[in-house]
Amino acid sequence: MRIIGHGIDIERIQRIRNEIDSGTNSWVNCFCSIDEREAADPPPAHYRYYAGRYAAKEAIAKALGTGFSGKITWHGIEILRGKNGAPYVRLNHDVAKFSDELGILDWHVSISYSSGIAFASAIATGE
């Protein structure tokens, strides 16, 4: 196993709360898939959930070496919950194709929270 890419990101939970509470659901709909929205924690813990997913998606885009540009989109990266509650990555469409071209076989993602901040780390591995 070799590391192909690594990305980290942090996000203020209050910033995400402000976006969500702005009076429209457009931010959540633009940023998250239906599956991600269905897995969200109930209010008020959903602010933390979305901040963690935001940071994780940013970390993955960094691990891809591109950031969010070109065909690397928010909906192309999903952060879902496994049966044990741990986050896992599902890539879609052009993001999955790009990841395959880089030789990425697996993703390791971790999300943590402290003092109003969501932290995420993503490691892309291949053969």
User: DSSP 3-state assignment of 29?
Assistant: helix
Q: Is 0.85 surpassed by the pTM of this model?
A: yes
pLDDT averaged over every residue in the chain: 94
The answer to whether residue 24 scores a pLDDT higher than 80 is no
- 93 contacts 76 by C-beta, under 8 angstroms: yes
pLDDT at residue 25 in the model: 63
* pLDDT tens-digit series, residues 46-64: 999 999 999 999 999 999 9
pLDDT, mean of residues 23-43: 86
Looking at residue 43, the DSSP 8-state letter turns out to be T
The answer to whether residue 23 scores a pLDDT higher than 80 is no
Alpha-carbon distance of 4 to 10, in angstroms, equals 21
Biggest distance spanned by C-alpha atoms of the chain: 46
Query: Residue type for 96, please?
Result: A
CA-closest candidate to residue 87, choices 110, 54, 60, 64:
110
Give percent of the chain above pLDDT 90. 87
Cβ atoms within 10 Å, residue 60: 29
